[in-house]
Structure 1
Amino acid sequence: MNFTVLGEVCAWKGRQVIPLGGPRTRALLAVLLLEADRVVPVDRIIRLFWEDEVPVTARNAVQGLVVALRRSLRGQPDVRLVTRGPGYLLHVDPGSVDVFRFRVEVERARTLPDREAADVLRDALALWRGAPLADIPFESVRVRLGGLLEQELLAALELRAEIELRLGKHRDLVPELARLADEHPVRESLHRLLMLAHYRSGRTAEALETYRRLNHRLVAEYGITTGPALRELHATMLRA
């Protein structure tokens, strides 16, 4: 059995999609998958699902969701949902969950020569099929848990870009890095990579303009300037 959270939350047996019921049941599965083989307290599930407006029936509602999820997973010997202490624990092979495969491959890439690492990272990034937990309609679950996953995605994208810059693929990287920098307008690490890609492509003016826009936004919105590493890179480009 395989599970996906890097996109819609799904369960598969071979090519067959396993019905998971309603959105709260899928959300519960996502929470348990992301904490696979660890106890998730009922209180945490309640906070994720209802935030500050917790109904008196919340604990019973969670119990009902657990019953529904167990029904969906019935007959799958490699998956077990058990009650443990103050919460619930999902026993599952990490290799059957896309996010754990992604993490393993990203870490493996860090140990490899650049060309192999770039290929491994491309395969790992291909596991992403959209925004994480995309079909979960509860903002608290999607933002808190999905937001953390998106940070992992960005870190992996930056790692791959770092490697491909070393491999001389600066021109190919410019469009992707420009798009990512637009989507994350105050993420300094992305802007540094875009500056390097511009600079190494012979587009120094665009590299300097990237820095100017970032610094202006940081000052205007947060009252801070860029960090020392980015300022040093900017100074180096000015001196060149």
Structure 2
Amino acid sequence: MDIEVLGGLSVRMNGVSITPTAPKPRRVLALLALHVDQVVPVAVIIEELWGAAPPRSARTTLQTYILQLRELITEALAHGEDERCTAKDVLATLPGGYRLEAGGGTLDFREFERRAAAGYRAMAAGDYAGASRRLSDALSLWTGAALADVQPGVRIATEAKRLEEARLCALDQRIEADLHLGRHRELLPELTVLVSRHPTHESLQGQFMLALHRSGRRGEALDAYQRLRATLVSELGLEPAAALVRLQRSILMANTGAQPVHPAVAGRQFAEAG
């Protein structure tokens, strides 16, 4: 079974899609895919589909959705060689819930985690070229927002947010590695887009300032700091982190020889000069 959630939802067996088009069965499959090889309790699926006030027919309706998924699985199994495997083996009913069995194949979100972890290890070892390469490789698995074509309930929305945070963390560290490699000019187009999408993300904003500064655009780097500070104060009631203030001061002093330091904690730490 091949599962993709880093973009649109795609679940395939023997090269055949088992992804339904109807919104709620699609949501059931997405939730099972996110927890593949694990039992997902019926109560959790019902909450995902109907929230805190499910209809009396919720369990019966869920069973109908499971049946629809099994029909798609049966069609896909017909294209395989294992005649003993049934749809109930792939989408199993267990006490209290259901479990989707991967049975091998590719899971893009787990592959992303594996590749990103290799990038983080390279970063920690000071291998910035290797970190940039491995993290770029991990990020290449993404084709859009997580589960972009699934109408999420609370459970899927939480999982999608977690995946997006992991993506942003990997992106932040890949940019940090590239800054260490002196690629500040090449980074500017990408960072310009990112800071627009994430106006309060101090790590990205700090990296943008540093890339501008090292590209000889000191005034624009200082303007970026002032925009960030105004946004943080007006939207969150916060002043910029101390490391960001130090970066601004180093730019004011035109300390171009300083080297960035990669973030120790995502969100409030970022690359800084001297």
Structure-2-length-normalised TM-score: 0.79
Per the alignment, residue 30 of structure 1 pairs with: 30
The CA distance in 1 between the partners of 2:215 and 2:27, in whole Å, is 45
1:63 aligns with 2:88: no
Q: Deviations over 1:158-212 (max 9, x none)?
A: 1110111111111111111111111111111111111111122121211111111
For the structure 1 residues 107 and 39, does the alpha-carbon distance in structure 2 shift closer, same or farther, using more than 3 Å as the test?
same
1:157 aligns with 2:167: no
Q: Deviations over 1:137-174 (max 9, x none)?
A: 34646533322221111111111101111111111111
Per the alignment, residue 108 of structure 2 pairs with: 98
SS at match of 1:47: helix
Q: Which amino acid aligns with 1:106?
A: A
Higher alpha-carbon deviation: 87-96 or 32-41:
87-96
TM-superposed CA distance for 1:21, in Å, is: 4.6
Number of residue pairs the alignment of both structures matches: 240
1:44 aligns with 2:44: yes
The CA distance in 1 between the partners of 2:219 and 2:185, in whole Å, is 15
Higher alpha-carbon deviation: 152-161 or 108-117:
108-117
The CA distance in 2 between the partners of 1:93 and 1:184, in whole Å, is 38
Larger Rg: 2
The CA distance in 1 between the partners of 2:109 and 2:45, in whole Å, is 20
Structure-1-length-normalised TM-score: 0.89
TM-superposed CA distance for 1:84, in Å, is: 3.0
Per the alignment, residue 227 of structure 1 pairs with: 241
Gaps of at least 5 residues in structure 1 are none
SS at match of 1:88: strand
Higher alpha-carbon deviation: 204-213 or 42-51:
42-51
Higher alpha-carbon deviation: 25-34 or 168-177:
25-34
TM-superposed CA distance for 1:50, in Å, is: 1.6
Q: Deviations over 1:13-54 (max 9, x none)?
A: 465434535222221121112112222222222222222342
Gaps of at least 5 residues in structure 2 are 255-274
For the structure 1 residues 93 and 159, does the alpha-carbon distance in structure 2 shift closer, same or farther, using more than 3 Å as the test?
farther
Q: Percent identity?
A: 37
TM-superposed CA distance for 1:124, in Å, is: 1.7
Per the alignment, residue 202 of structure 1 pairs with: 216
Q: Judge conservation of contact 1:36–1:94 (CA < 8 Å) in 2.
A: no
